[in-house]
Amino acid sequence: MPVTADDVALSVRLAVGALAAAPSGWDTPAGDVSWTCWETAEHVADDLFYYATQIARTPQEEQGPDPFTLSARREGGPEVALFADPDAGPAGLLQVVDACGALLAAAVRTAPPEARGYHVFGLADAEGFAAMGVVEVLVHTADIAAGLGVPWTPPADLCERVLARLFPDVEVTGDPWRTLLWATGRGELPGRPLRTEWRWHSAPIATG
């Protein structure tokens, strides 16, 4: 089963719903990430926005990163093209994540089959950007949830499908979510050491 725009929308909806349960603590570290929970959520929103622009823009022949100006709120923080207004609080931050997720879902839904967009790991099609957006949401929500102390477990079938699209070399265990965390350097699996380096397969997977 392919990864679709509906999956992007679902992952964002579930993440926003889970994180909305924590109205405070957003300045704490996001799990083992060096960013705060707030900064990590801004990074997620920025990724969703950036992926949308990559698969939506024309002409497709001109491949390369869009020249957005990137900046960070502080030294060591994530460099992003957009920020959430701190005065809007966590609800405003999650509104930004939701809006950027809607942009990516719309871009994926309307992209023609031949559309390709730039990614440092290889030119990606619409499904690739959908899967990358979903993974960014799922794993970084896990980081944020760990920092905020809220539960987070995404649907197993969604984890399995993004693993098949972006990590075709990874054998899925009986727990696709734990496998996805391992594939992105977040935890160990029996018989598999912690991944200190990893990358996904953003280019379309050849068939036939």
Q: Does pLDDT of 61 surpass 80? A: no
Q: Which of 143, 95, 106, 144 is nearest to 9 (CA)?
A: 106
The maximal CA–CA distance of the chain, rounded, in angstroms, is 53
Instruction: Give the chain's mean pLDDT.
Output: 91
Query: Residues near 137 by Cβ (< 8 Å), separated by ≥ 6?
Result: 8, 11, 12, 15, 44, 48, 101
Q: What is the mean pLDDT of residues 168-178?
A: 90
According to the model, what pLDDT value does residue 57 have?
79
% of the chain at pLDDT higher than 70: 96
3-state secondary structure of 80: strand
Name the band, by pLDDT with cuts 50, 70 and 90, for residue 174.
Answer: confident
Residue type, 147: G
User: 189 φ, ψ to 5°?
Assistant: -125, 150
Question: How do the domains of the chain map onto residue ranges?
Answer: 5-155
Q: Which CATH superfamily, name and number, covers 5-155?
A: dinb family like domain (1.20.120.450)
| pTM of the full structure | 0.93
CA 114/CA 190 separation, integer angstroms = 40
For helices 156-166 and 5-19, the axis angle rounded to 10 degrees is 130
pLDDT digits (tens, 9 = 90+) for 15-44: 999 999 998 899 999 988 889 999 999 999
